[in-house]
Amino acid sequence: MKTSCLDHIVIGAATLDEGVAYVRSKLGVMIPPGGNHTKMATHNCVMSLGHDVYLEVIAVDPNANAPLRPRWFGLDDPYVKARLQRQPALLTWLVNCANIESVVAQNSFPFGAVTSMCRGDLEWSITLPADGGLPAAGMLPTLLQWRTDDHPARRMADTGCTLQRLQLYHPHIEWIESILAGVGALDCIERNSIAANATPYLVAHIMTPSGVRQFFSHH
């Protein structure tokens, strides 16, 4: 299996303004606007984290027509919506595959149907479960493949922030690792085992102009 690369991390928010304010409070920088996802009725802001990796803040677009299917990243899930009403949070991570169709065909885990997406002049393919949910509640990555020559992170604003490492804590880490190995993503994330009754979570460690800061996937 050809290795997949960590592509980006996703911060979900009840509104885009709340997400931007949350990132600013954590990292001390303003995350620039991204654009709109017409198919999903969402919009985002994005910033480079170095090495073809970036951070995305995403929220439901209140001015868009309702989508014909559940929104991605669990944004229509009542549990996720309630969680983001309390505070923006790290929802999940994505890996960039060299051949997404082949990766999905060769793996039994239901990442979702490979779906074409666009935002402005950017085009990509992404795995989307029919219910819009997050694979393994966001602990497993969403898969994507860019249909561009250069990685889009290279044209995003450099705010002086770099992803140092992404950590995953899970009670069934062997299961997680077997699936990650199947998509070539074992090296994308540090894996740690926790107690059987503990809640899985992610931690992103980001070097900022004022030191290392963390985003957690649960409060």
pLDDT digits (tens, 9 = 90+) for 102-149: 999 999 999 999 999 988 889 999 999 999 999 999 999 999 999 988
The structural domains of the chain, ordered by start, are 5-158 (3.10.180.10)
* Contact assessment for residue 212 and residue 203, using Cβ atoms and an 8 Å cutoff: no
User: Would you place residue 2 in the very low, low, confident or very high pLDDT band (cuts 50, 70, 90)?
Assistant: low
Tokens of residue 139, six digits: 């602990």
pLDDT digits (tens, 9 = 90+) for 62-86: 999 999 999 999 999 999 999 999 9
> What separation in angstroms does the CA of 102 have from each of 106, 107, 117, 143, 182?
6, 9, 18, 12, 11
User: Would you place residue 38 in the very low, low, confident or very high pLDDT band (cuts 50, 70, 90)?
Assistant: very high
For the cut 70, the answer to whether the pLDDT of residue 219 exceeds it is: no
Phi/psi region, residue 60 (left: phi>0; alpha: psi -120 to 50; beta: rest), is beta
* Contact assessment for residue 101 and residue 143, using Cβ atoms and an 8 Å cutoff: no
